[in-house]
Amino acid sequence: MKPSLELSKVVLLGRTLDEYSRYFSLNVEELRGKAILDIASGVSSFCAEGNAHGLNVTAFDLIYELSPEEIKMRCEPDLEFVLGEIGKVAAYKWDFYKTPETLRTFRERAYRLFLPDYLKSKGERYIFGKLPRTPFRDGQFDLTLISYLLFVYEEQAGFDYPFHKESLLEILRITSGEVRIYPLVNFKAERSRTFEALKSDPTFADFIFEEVQTDFEFLKNSNAFVRIHRKPGR
């Protein structure tokens, strides 16, 4: 067995509303009336499903400069690659998904729900851009979510500490409420060194980093997210 999943790029693997709810301890009813941003959302169906449930969700990703056809052409090859590798990796627990085929079902559902919504709403609630910059105004969102981008890719070129720091500063600028980031480990299932460094960086002295445990764990040690919000009066 290999110790970790080896990726040379950020792959297009979408997650569903159900998975987001588990990652971030979300309750749909509690999200009503909030402006929500999903960063590095890719082909996840959280935006499509959330808006279908009456939520106000915006998705942000660099792939949104592409046409639906171009994105669709990448979905299946990326999924096939990961499914072909993930069963050989020791860093995963299969308590929830059970088998790679069940995992495939979740990933296919995500991008199949995403694609028609993207076709309909590209440029409206699917916004193109690339961290560490965004086109959003100060405090535009009540809640910002980031899954499987920050921290997990920390050993890849382009995801160094300055990138994480600048990205987090930008995310906090556009978020009036709280930011949630999942998971807190890299692809080796090791506690992220970048996360630990950010918590102690004086630049973020006005913010609280609160770790929240969850009952979901696929990548080993990934049963927690961080909730970041401004200290009272700051």
Alpha helices in the chain (DSSP H): 17-24, 28-31, 46-52, 68-86, 100-121, 161-173, 193-200
Instruction: Identify whether the C-beta of residue 141 lies closer than 8 Å to the C-beta of residue 177.
Output: yes
pLDDT at position 4 over 80? no
What is the pTM (predicted TM-score) of this model?
0.92
pLDDT in tens, 46-75: 999 999 999 999 999 999 999 999 999 988
Quickly state the pLDDT bin for 83 (edges 50, 70, 90). Answer: confident
According to the model, what pLDDT value does residue 1 have? 52
Closest C-alpha among 120, 143, 108 to residue 35: 143
Look over the chain and give the mean of its residue pLDDT values, rounded to a whole number.
92
Closest C-alpha among 137, 200, 145, 117 to residue 34: 145
**How many other C-beta atoms can be found within 10 angstroms of the C-beta atom of residue 82?**
20
Distance CA 135, CA 130 (A): 10
What does residue 143 show for φ and ψ, rounded to 5 degrees?
-140, 130
pLDDT in tens, 124-133: 999 999 999 9
CATH of 17-230, one of 3.30.200.20, 2.60.40.1120, 3.60.15.10, 3.40.50.150: 3.40.50.150
